[in-house]
A and B are shown apart, each in its own frame.
Chain A
Amino acid sequence: MARGLRGIARKALGVARTPTYYLPWLTRPGLDCVVLVNNIEARFKPEHNRGPFPSSVGQYDADGTLVQRYPVSLASSIDTAEVHLRPTPAGFGFVTVDVSHIHSDLYTTLSDGRYYTATHGRHEFVETYPAWARVLLAAIGRLLALGGRTIAAFRREQYVFVSGESRSHLLVMNLSNVVNRIRVVASRDGRRLANRLLVLPPMGSLLFDVSQLGDAGAAAPAVKHLHLEGNAWFNLYLVGAGPRDLAGPLSLMHVK
């Protein structure tokens, strides 16, 4: 959908955008997730470097429920709070961080106790739709879903790699208060491999194994091009997995 048309649609639907810093989270048995809240990048800015800096981290589960809110206070701009996230049965989702007093990139880390992988979050926004718009989008979405389609309001393009020794998963995050139907189309060398329609609850997330989209990969990594389109604002992180897939160590990485 063209940017101008999307803006008009957003106004017509009464969509509000709340600036939000968010990061993905992921826990597994033997794998813990810690978010590093800090204000280090603001330490040389007089208007931003005088603490304390109050903040909070809200942990949203895969089904969109708020698992827990963690209050945080940084004593100074060189202080770091390590927030250990609570494991849940689903074991993934995203956190939002109150950055009204913070001006720095924040990190999320996955550790198996011996080493960790890390990535950073995004300062973007969460979309809030009024009740009537949610009902309207749900009705249209269900109708289009019959044909495996969705309202292509937002699009993303992504390359992923799979091989016999490694797997890649998408951690797709619905950054809105409506049900988000996201269509994923995989192709390779211009040839379409497969497509799926993912359904995410409001503020919910989904972990999707891209090897389900045809061509599981041989010894050498196979590249796939993914095209994603959804009816509301969403983003994704890439989850890398070794030969034990989600039962082994994992990595997380932001994309464009």
Chain B
Amino acid sequence: MSSSLSALLSVTYYEPGDDHLIELVHQRDTAGRRRLASLAVEIYAPDGEPLGTVDIDARQETLDLGELARGYLGRRSRVMIAFDARYDERIFPYRPHHYGYLHRRGSAGPPLYYAVNATLGGVPDRIGATGINNFETYLFRTDAGGGEHSLILGNVSRFSPTTAQVFTYYGEARLAQDVTLAPKAHTEVALAPERSGHRLARVEVKALFRLATYVVGRHPEGRELVLFDHLFTYFK
């Protein structure tokens, strides 16, 4: 393998019952429609236990996570899936991303398209976020249409456990909680929708290094994902 290749570690989560597909071809434009040089997918249980590693044929256009995860899920409600990719840096204009599609089978809700969290790697001199990327923020609607939200946090570190601080804001009030994760462990942290008459307005996540974090909204009845979005770092 060429030493000029760049590396990217992206992370998503799979829940049983979802149709969940990931794009493997990165399309800057027609001429730049290039494939990854290689892709290995790793699957982890919530406690960080490695469940399997699968080498993926990088010539595939999309990857069906439901099919991939079927043999590893057991009774688990979620597995973390890490995409360890090598690619020619000409593929990406700056910050690389895989893109995904997910929809719970039988749900009356809409499917979600989303950007898979590009947790580590990329082309350093093309990444806009050259500053801190392990302090992330997300804002919420505070009116009646708000719904309930949570965070899914995953520790992509190979050896180091970490404690993330999760701050939530309600009017003038700020609440803090610590979440400790073993290497490769992941968890869902519920965010109270309201406190003292104020709706949840904002969440912040701080950690020693970047975590694989998503903001999640769930359908009030079926509990399937209706929001699955990345957080934002601060002004670059």
Query: Is the beta-carbon distance between B235 and A48 smaller than 8 angstroms?
Result: yes
Query: Shortest Cβ distance from B221 into chain A, in angstroms?
Result: 9
B138-178 interface (Cβ within 8 A of A):
139, 141-148
User: Which chain B positions have C-beta within 8 A of A163?
Assistant: 19, 103
A147-191 interface (Cβ within 8 A of B):
155-159, 161, 163, 165-166, 168
Q: A159-B23, A159-B99, A255-B99 are in contact. Are A36 and B235 (CB under 8 A)?
A: no
B9 adjacent to chain A (CB < 8 Å): no
Query: Shortest Cβ distance from A225 into chain B, in angstroms?
Result: 7
A-contact bits for B203-236, CB 8 A (1 contact / 0 none) = 0000000000000011110000011010011110
Residue in B closest to A36 when the chains form the complex, CB atoms: B139
Query: Shortest Cβ distance from B153 into chain A, in angstroms?
Result: 19
Quick one: which of A32, A42, A118 contacts B229, CB cutoff 8 A?
A118
B111 adjacent to chain A (CB < 8 Å): yes
Give Cα A45–Cα B27 distance, bound, in whole angstroms. Answer: 34
Query: Is the beta-carbon distance between B108 and A242 smaller than 8 angstroms?
Result: yes
- In this complex, the interface size class of chain A, counting residues with CB under 8 Å from chain B, is 35 or more
A84-141 interface (Cβ within 8 A of B):
103-105, 107, 109, 111-120
A-contact bits for B15-37, CB 8 A (1 contact / 0 none) = 00001010101011110010000
Query: Shortest Cβ distance from A186 into chain B, in angstroms?
Result: 14
Quick one: which of A116, A238, A243, A255 contacts B145, CB cutoff 8 A?
A116
Q: A113-B145, A116-B217, A163-B103 are in contact. Are A223 and B61 (CB under 8 A)?
A: yes
Q: List 5 A-B contacts (CB under 8 A).
A: A78-B202, A115-B226, A159-B23, A241-B111, A249-B110
